[in-house]
A and B are shown apart, each in its own frame.
Chain A
């Protein structure tokens, strides 16, 4: 079998059983993490409908999603202003009780190809308006999410010279589930910080029974919060994709301290994270954090026999792959293959022999070389129909089969602990089958 190398260029003309997801889908999810945002996809109706069904099935929640329904006629005659303005008018007219505080627009392959001017629209939209260029023939889910965070800062954060030293902004990458954002916020605020996340899904799509949901984004950050972000003392980007958003914020106030973590999984990264927070606030972590660090140490020792004697394949968005790979490696796991949805420079640093951008057809060739696969749910059917018995842990988008996806936590000392146990138990289960 010829090895595939890590490259920005594809190694074959098509994708078979793809794991790659599109930029506008990442953008739409980001907008759902803004309070009272109306996520509006500028494309044909299918782009939004697929996205809506996709997230509805992953989160088991009603999804707020609108579209400009570009038709064959508007595709040719309209520069974008008609469909976008008409869409906003029609939506608000039809739902008079709807009070959006932000129109979150993302473009699609169709409207980028025809070259719509989505920027100049701002002056004609009566509500606060944010636009982001997200053609689905470039980038992927992760970049769509990150570009949206960047656009929100660039277009809505006011420049300032003031600094609130205690205020911390977290920029989580797209693969973090709502509970993970919430846990990180709680962790930071336990050091006495005022904390915000952008985007913030912790109160959106987090599996919370409430009335009248699903019409607008219900994220925990408001448009006023976003306007005021440049007074943050620190900005912490989690995931390489989010660096661009942090850099955009520094443009608004260069005194802001920027700290970057590739991920928050495993002992080392979290120790660095805690050191930073201790330094920032000159206080020690609370007893619970200390306790969880000890539990993670213990979990690493308890699981290292199983984890260290098995081989892994990790598939998904780059930032997620890096976190999972390094956590497994920290307990001795031999990660043989990493298959990423798109190219990202962070993959270059991974100490893994086979790492490349690919699909599940590529993955299939390696099933015989590994004992456990970490992937989205598309791997399930293929693994079950293959002869090789492989354990499977489902992570990343989409997971149509399992319930409670929004509440799976793999971050910090606590989440890392649970993750290691889950992997070890799956391996143990599989060994019983053999």
Chain B
């Protein structure tokens, strides 16, 4: 069942800066009709759990929920079995199920999946309609779980419950309630961590995992990039939870601290400084002086290697100025990466940022940096005034760049390569170089023959 008390609690997370400074009852995520731009709670829940490749993800709802969303995210997996993240499963309920209830269909679907796909687990997502008509998903999944002897986990995050962020929290709740602590790991080490909130989009995790391995940090489980259900069940034995760029799963980490005494740290792997900071934060939290020394040694070598590879780019980028118009933590994480490449970030958007994000943006951009509250109307003027060379923004801003005859990178489009970790910074550098070199922005901005005076 959708639990109103739980939703209220999640919306007033004490550890989250969305709700920290707000009046009572005004927590995160309250939407006004007409003004909600992002995805719904179901979207957030699905994003958070979908990367578990050994589980089947069954969406119990009508057609839009999965029909429009499957195979949209490049969440890579190294799973050697059948990779369910690239597949879509939905009960696709019809009028009949709305009238008579969809439990029967759900039960038959679960039987079908177990028979034909033998997954390690099944996540069943409720959606607006099935929550509304009151399908007893808890009962159906619990009976099926006993019958088939695999975890079948109900995820109660119907779209109308709120935004993506809340959905992600609700997904965390489902994992905590049904999976974490249900299995013991084969062995443990003093350097076991859980990675929380990195979904391995375009292989982001794989950019920094080799560095972890070299230092000796072991990822016990992940929620949920390149994840396995069989491993998240052992997550309670980790020494540390590491939240990657995701405020939404703070609740999960706080509760794991309370229930299993696993402390947490929050980090970002975008750019050189943030990657190094992240790794130092992790080893310091683990607290072993030997590990810290080893990390320092590895990082200094990695940074030196990276610096050498970045030199030619830095020469090219010297004196270049950028304007960044994107949401949330990207407002500062992309800015930080650009600075690592020697590009001056003259302005960034804080339209969709939390108080924490704004603080960070201020810190990275310094005194002279402009924080744009309404970037759509401000950015053109700022490009003129600062003589910026490149705009990094979503597709809607392309015309601004064309009009101002400057280079453009679409940072909201699904990217094909990772910008995470040290190697990812090189990918970003190459994309920037390509953008600066490409004459297309100048060429298309030429006036038409009938526009020439």
Residue numbers of A with Cβ under 8 A of B are 10, 12-18, 20-25, 40, 43-47, 49-51, 53-54, 56-57, 60-62, 66-72, 74-75, 82-84, 86-91, 94, 108-110, 113-114, 135-138, 140, 209-214, 377-378, 381, 400
Contact = CB atoms under 8 A, between A and B. Distances in A.
Given A44-B158, A69-B34, A136-B62, A14 B91 contact: yes
Contacts of B92: 14-15, 18, 20
Given A47-B64, A47-B159, A137 B98 contact: yes
Contacts of A136: 62-64
Interface of B: 2, 4, 7, 31-43, 58, 61-72, 86-95, 97-98, 105, 108-109, 112-113, 128-129, 132-133, 158-163, 395-396, 399, 402-403, 414, 444
A128 B63 CA distance: 29
A50 B36 contact: no
A16 B87 contact: yes
B94 A91 contact: no
B50 to A, nearest CB: 14
B376 to A, nearest CB: 10
Nearest to B399: A211
A179 B262 CA distance: 58
A414 B128 CA distance: 45
A18 B70 CA distance: 9
B40 A45 contact: yes
Nearest to B31: A69
B63 A21 contact: yes
Contact of B58 (A14, A18, A57, A114): A14
Contact of A14 (B37, B86, B98, B112): B112
Contact of B33 (A13, A56, A68): A68
Contact of A46 (B41, B94, B395): B41
A3 B402 CA distance: 55
A44 B159 contact: yes
Contacts of B65: 46, 50
B95 A138 contact: yes
Contacts of B161: 71-72
Given A46-B159, A113-B132, A12 B112 contact: yes
Contacts of A44: 40-41, 128, 158-160
Return the 6 tightest CB-CB contacts between A and B, nearest first.
A46-B40, A87-B34, A44-B159, A13-B108, A45-B36, A90-B34
Contacts of A14: 58, 89-92, 105, 108-109, 112-113
Given A18-B67, A137-B62, A214-B396, A43 B128 contact: yes
A137 B94 contact: yes
A187 B98 CA distance: 45
Given A45-B37, A113-B133, A135-B62, 17 more contacts: A10-B94, A15-B88, A15-B92, A16-B89, A20-B92, A23-B63, A25-B64, A25-B68, A50-B43, A50-B68, A51-B64, A90-B34, A110-B160, A114-B132, A137-B97, A138-B94, A211-B399
B93 A137 contact: yes
Given A13-B105, A21-B68, A110-B128, A90 B38 contact: no
Contacts of A60: 395
Give the one of A71, A91, A135 with max B CB within 10 A: A71
A210 B93 CA distance: 40
Nearest to A73: B160
A86 B209 CA distance: 48
A347 B254 CA distance: 56
B326 to A, nearest CB: 15
B91 A13 contact: yes
Given A87-B33, A110-B159, A214-B396, A13 B109 contact: yes
A343 B424 CA distance: 47
Contacts of A140: 63
A90 B31 CA distance: 11
Contact of A72 (B4, B33, B35, B444): B4
Contact of B129 (A45, A69, A113): A113
